[in-house]
Every structure is written in structure tokens, then in C-alpha cells.
Structure 1
């Protein structure tokens, strides 16, 4: 080690002696002033980099372990319905008879699956045009002050707890539907209107980012060709940001599909196949939140609810896969 230090010192001394750059002030640094130990030992910044890399790696490992643990725990309990209680998975996915307390032949989740998809799709279809319109106004028409105000309103809507949305739906939307359409007022329509307000800020914020990501050169090129502002928006901006807007809509659908408390308060929680929009129904999340506390761990009713949770987890993974798929196509 001492030989290497001596060789290094010779190289440094020679470099200092032969340096001929006039604007570099090394007059005070003589060959004898070179500290080889400082050149060979790790500096304080190097130690900080090591610590930073170590903490980052530890955080990544913990996140991976957490995700794997959640998937493993939900999967173990959700699959127990089919492996321990011997419920036919085809019957589980295609039957509308849901009463696990009566035995394995009464575990059918089709009604809740259909209701969950209907609520998610309808709310996304209603919210998407409004979100795109608001995003276009914020990015293409409004002043900076108006855009900041609308952004503040959007962020405020995101921060409101879901129980508040559910309570507003229970006290305003449900009575209004009851007076207009009759019946109890609970059902897919009430849940859809509540979710519409809940997913609107999510889709709007992501759509604004998508529109801002369109290069300015495309706008200028369209204007140079004589296109009007709306022609530029329709033929250039919206087409260039289509993949990002679809990603925003899918994120909104994921939010709607996984919402539990607000939907539970306005949908009626009746496990029935929905034949119209104003009859009481139940989604996967509403059934989970309303019944999980009434079952005993390890029994068929409890395992059946874990199977519903497993379905929700698989749907979340599907939404993430669609986001990555659309993102890759957008890059192409």
C-alpha cells in the first residue's frame, strides 16, 4: 500500500510541477503540500453517497416485501374458498346466488361484479368529457389566474374525504332520485353520480398534465398552416395526447372501482343483479366493508369475502397493466 501511495505522490508532484495553465492559481500548492491520505481515503461526500444508496436500496426492498406480503396474504385467504371450502370457481364467477352462510352452493359473485363494472364504466363515461373540457379550458383558453383558481378547486375536491361525498349523496342525491324516479333512491345511479364527482378531479389533473406535455412546436406549426385554435386543439393537441388522456381515464376508473365507503352509503347494499339504475345493488367493495366485520376468520363466509378482495386486487393489477400498455403504445 505504501508503494502505491509513493507512486501516486510522484505522479501528483510531477503534475503540479509541470502545470502550465496560467489562470489556475496553484502557486501556494507545492509538491510537499500534497496529502496522499486524503487522495486515497473516501471523502465525506463519498460516505454520504454510500449511505444514500443504502437507504434507497432498503426502502425499495421494504416496498417490494410489503407488496408481496399483501398479495400473498390476500391470495392465501381468497383462494381458500376454492381449495379448502371446495367452491367451484366457475360457479363463483357466474352465479348470482350470494348467501355463504347457506353453504358452498350459495357463493356467487356475478351480481356484485356486474354492478362494480357498471358503476365504474358509467361514472368514467360521464366524468371524462367534463374532465377533458375543464382541462382544455385551463390549458388553452383561460388566463394564468383562472387556471390557478381552477387548479385550487380541483385539488380541494381531491382532498375531501370519501365519507363526506357519501354523506352528501345520502342527503341530496338519494332523496332527489327518489322524488324523480320513485323507489328507494338507492342504486347504481346514485353511486354513479357520487363517483362522478370523486373521479372528476383525478381525471382532470392528469389530463391537464397530458395537454401541457404536448410540445409548443406542434401548436406553432398548426397556427403557421392557418389552422384555427379549435382546429389545432382537435386535430393536433388532442391527438398528440390521446394515450395520456386514456391513461388518466383508466386511473379514474381504478379510483371508482376501488371506492368503498361512499358507494356503500348510496347503493343500497342488496346483492341483486341490477336490472335498472335505480334499484338497490351491491358492489364488491360495498359488500366487503359491510360484511367483513360480521364473519368469523377461517369460515366459508369470511373466505368468500376474501375472494372478493382477491378479485379487487386482480382488477387493480389489470388497471396498472392497461396503463403501462397504453403508455408504451403512446411512446411508439
Structure 2
């Protein structure tokens, strides 16, 4: 018995959707399993301790004995990402307020496309701009050679600015018009309405933009690698060279033998990056729940 056309189309549509979802789930679990199997092998059979990797200060994989202290790289990743978020957040929030509350037509027609254009620029371009503009400026006006944590953070702040601005703009645009009208009716000025009503109301969404920006900065490799100096130690100031997890992975992975202890430890660092991504996603989900409430 031949089924009607609309039933067959519905069946094919459901099958296609469920097939795509199944492929995505299998792909995600396969990636996690592959990275975890590689990343856990140094702790299981390589004689490397978790405490040594996460809290060790010395990175010397070619030494006798080899040492794999990744704390300098963890410190470099967190410091550059957090400083970048601190720089990008005020600019992103101010741009979002301007586009939605002060000059919506002008902001959305000129400023928003310009900010979104930043998201499409390749990482290597940001790196070259950092080497050509940021590093010479820091070298001329601050101590050091210009290459260091602050240079990497400035480059990252520009890279995550579209993420922070876009999420803040969407949050401010979805506010009910009655909130502002009620505030104006009570005698509040525009600026009082913005910083006493609008910003506190959208704070969870604004924090979501910051967390996503930090997640984006945490996983960036090439642009930071070009301006941070790639020195495997904890810097004593923002103007000293440092290194990040992504930098040490990209610089060393091609120079190691597959299956060696050094190679597996690099996979352990990749596993740390993956776990940090899960942490950022969990934080974003928690903030989204607060928004829905």
C-alpha cells in the first residue's frame, strides 16, 4: 500500500533531521573520546602526574628527566583572556547602548556593520596589526620590548569585541518598551534609565557576552602567538613575554613524534582546553537560565 505524499514527505523530513542530529552527536562524542584517550595516556602510562602538569612551573620536555609543568601556559591563557574581556566589555556595552538607546538608526546602519566586519577578519591579520601597531606603541611608551601579555590582550580584545557587542545589542533590543516608558513617566532622565534600569535588567545577558568572549579568546592561537613572545614562564608584569596553551600546542605539535610522551602531553593540554570550553558553556547556560527567570 502506497502512503500518501504528505506522509512520505513528513517521514523523509523527520528521518533527515534525526540523521543530522545523530551525526552531530556521534561526531562530538568521537572528538571528546579521541582527545581524552590521547590526553589521559600520560597520566595512566607515562608517569606524569596531574598536579605536575597543572601546577608545575618548568616546561622542559627534552630534559633528563623531562618536565611538563604547564602552569605558565595556563596563566598566560587566563591572563590574556581576562584582560581582553576587561578591555572589550566597556567598549562593547557602550556601542550597544549607543546603537539601541541613543542613536538606533545611525548606529545600526553604520556602527553595527563595522563591528560585525571585525568578526570576519582572519586571525593572522590581527597578528600582523599587533606586530605593526600595538607592539611598537607599547615598546615606545612602556618598559620592555612591547611583546608580552598586554600586547596579546589588546589584540584579543579587538577580536572578541564583535561577540560582546552583538550579544549586548540583542539583549538591549529585546527589552519591553514599557520599561523605558515607565521610567520616563516617573521623571528619570535617559542616562538614569540606562544605568539604573536597562543595564541592571540585561546584566545576565551582558555577562553571557563576556563569557563567550573569554571562551573565544581562550582558544585563539595564531594572533596571540605572534605578539606574546612565547616564553615558557610566568611573567612578572604585563610587559613581559609569556605563552598560552594554544601557542605551545601549535608550536610543538609538529615537532613531536606521534605516540611519544611529549606528543601525548600536548594532547593533555588540548584536553584541558576542551574541558575549559565545557566550563564556559556551563556558565553560559546558567546565565541563560537567569535571563529566562
Q: TM-score range by the shorter chain?
A: over 0.9
In 2, distance between residues paired with 1:230 and 1:296?
Answer: 60
Spell out, residue by residue over 1:29-85, the C-alpha distance to the aligned partner (whole angstroms, 9 max, x if none): xxxxxxxx9xxx643222111111111000000000111011111111111111120
Summarize deviations over 1:166-187 as a string: whole Å, max 9, x none.
1110121112222222432211
**5+ residue gaps in structure 1?**
1-36
Q: TM-score, normalization: structure 1?
A: 0.85
Distance 2:184 2:9 in 1: 51
1:93 aligns with 2:25: no
1:140 matched to 2:101? The reply is yes
Q: 2:262 aligns with which of 282, 289, 301?
A: 301
CA distance in 2, matches of 1:42, 1:103: 72
Which of 236, 240, 243 is matched with 1:279 structurally?
240
Cross-structure match for 2:221:
260
Q: In 1, distance between residues paired with 2:266 and 2:36? A: 12
Deviates more, 1:101-110 or 1:202-211: 101-110
Partner Cα separation in structure 2 for residue 225 and residue 104 of structure 1: 72
Moved more, 293-302 or 213-222: 213-222
Does 2:124 align with 1:171?
Answer: no
**Structure number with bigger Rg:** 1
Q: Which residue in the other structure is 1:330 paired with?
A: 291
Matches within 5 A, 1:215-234: 215-234=176-195
SS at structure 1 position matched to 2:59: coil
Of 33, 37, 55, 1:72 maps to: 33
CA RMSD, aligned part only?
Answer: 1.4
In the alignment, structure 2 segments of 5+ residues that lack a partner are none
Distance 1:219 1:101, change over 3 A: same
Shift of 1:103: 5.4
Instruction: State the TM-score, normalizing by the size of structure 2.
Output: 0.96
Distance 1:230 1:239 in 2: 13
Instruction: Number of aligned residue pairs: give it.
Output: 293
CA contact under 8 A between 2:99 and 2:106: conserved in structure 1? no
Structure 1 residue aligned with 2:78, among 112, 117, 122?
117
Residue 130 of structure 1: aligned partner: 91
Greater relative contact order (CA < 8 Å, ≥ 6 in sequence): 2
Which structure 2 residues correspond to residues 14-33 of structure 1 after superposition, within 5 A?
none
